[in-house]
């Protein structure tokens, strides 16, 4: 099993709010976000961990080259247009068979991630198993419609009847889905969500795997929310006076 991390964004919102370090080096409980993922994936027995960063991050590039001395990290340095283009660049650099992909700023409970991997391995007929959550944290969430046994039937930009979940930004994918990432970019498909729609249009088999919470760290205020998730597994809704 291989793993992949998209860390090619510029982290502009964090920088505008005063963050001095590149987003992947932002600390969660005293540990850089990129370290947390690399440590965790290494502990899961990753065959290789593919990481893409942009060319304007020399500090991060140097940091990850040090990681290459300790783990099976395959580093790709390339400026890309979107997360989909970053993913396609990773696939083109040598990902084959099956992979679990996440963005560097996606924060999750490790036990839920382990269960995701176990479920994916137990379902070799699936082309993709995607993490979803009912906790809406993203500024522009992608809503996921599911049917029987959590089969994914649609990806929607707005909520509607039957969209109990939003995409969590964690994707376990097999070869047919990897091939489609490359062809989607060749066909000028834009955005990761349009690639996911293309998976369904081509008839690939996708299922959802619910997580209790997934947090994207886009703003400084998200750091405390992410740390609370990691430390307690619970996140307080500021509009509610009792614990969840």
Question: Which pLDDT belongs to residue 238?
Answer: 36
From the centroid of its chain, how far is CA 31?
A: 18
Q: Which CATH architecture has domain 2-232?
A: Alpha-Beta Complex (3.90)
**What is the per-residue pLDDT for 233?**
55
User: CA 158, CA 116: separation in Å to the nearest integer?
Assistant: 26
- pLDDT tens per residue, range 43-59: 999 999 999 999 988 98
Q: What pLDDT score was predicted for residue 42?
A: 95
DSSP state of 151: B
pLDDT tens-place string over residues 6-30? 999 876 778 778 777 888 999 999 9
Please report the DSSP string for 172-183 in residue order: EEEHHHHHHHHH
For residues 95 and 89, give the distance between their C-alpha atoms in angstroms, rounded to a whole number: 10
Enumerate residue ranges in the chain where pLDDT < 70.
11, 233-244
Cα 196–chain centre separation: 13
d(CA 55, CA 80): 10
Select from 87, 181, 89, 84 the least CA-distant residue to 127: 181
Q: What DSSP state is assigned to residue 24?
A: G
What is the structure's pLDDT at 11? 66
Q: Is the dihedral of CA 188, 100, 58, 138 positive or negative?
A: positive
Round to whole Å and give the CA distance between 186 and 180. 10
Q: What is the model's pLDDT at position 237?
A: 40
Please give the model's pTM, rounded to 2 decimal places. 0.91
């Amino acid at each position: 099993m291989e793993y992949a991390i998209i860390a090619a964004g510029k982290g502009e919102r964090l920088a505008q709010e005063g963050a001095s370090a590149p987003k992947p080096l932002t600390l969660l409980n005293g540990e850089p976000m990129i370290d947390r993922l690399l440590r965790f994936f290494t502990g899961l027995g990753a065959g290789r961990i593919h990481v893409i960063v942009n060319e304007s991050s020399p500090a991060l590039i140097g940091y990850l080259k040090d990681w290459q001395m300790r783990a099976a990290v395959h580093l790709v340095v390339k400026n890309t247009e979107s997360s989909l283009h970053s993913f396609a660049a990773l696939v083109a650099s040598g990902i084959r068979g099956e992979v679990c992909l996440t963005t560097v700023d996606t924060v999750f409970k490790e036990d839920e991630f382990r269960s995701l991997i176990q479920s994916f391995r137990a379902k070799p007929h699936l082309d993709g198993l995607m993490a979803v959550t009912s906790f809406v944290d993203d500024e522009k969430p992608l809503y996921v419609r599911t049917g029987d046994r959590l089969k994914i039937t649609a990806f929607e930009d707005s909520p509607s009847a039957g969209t109990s979940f939003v995409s969590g930004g964690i994707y376990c994918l097999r070869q047919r889905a990897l091939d489609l990432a490359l062809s989607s970019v060749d066909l000028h498909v834009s955005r990761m969500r349009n690639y996911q729609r293309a998976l369904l249009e081509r008839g690939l088999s996708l299922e959802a795997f619910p997580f209790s919470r997934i947090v994207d760290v886009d703003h400084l205020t998200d750091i405390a929310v992410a740390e609370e998730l990691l430390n307690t597994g619970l996140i307080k809704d500021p509009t509610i006076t009792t614990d969840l």
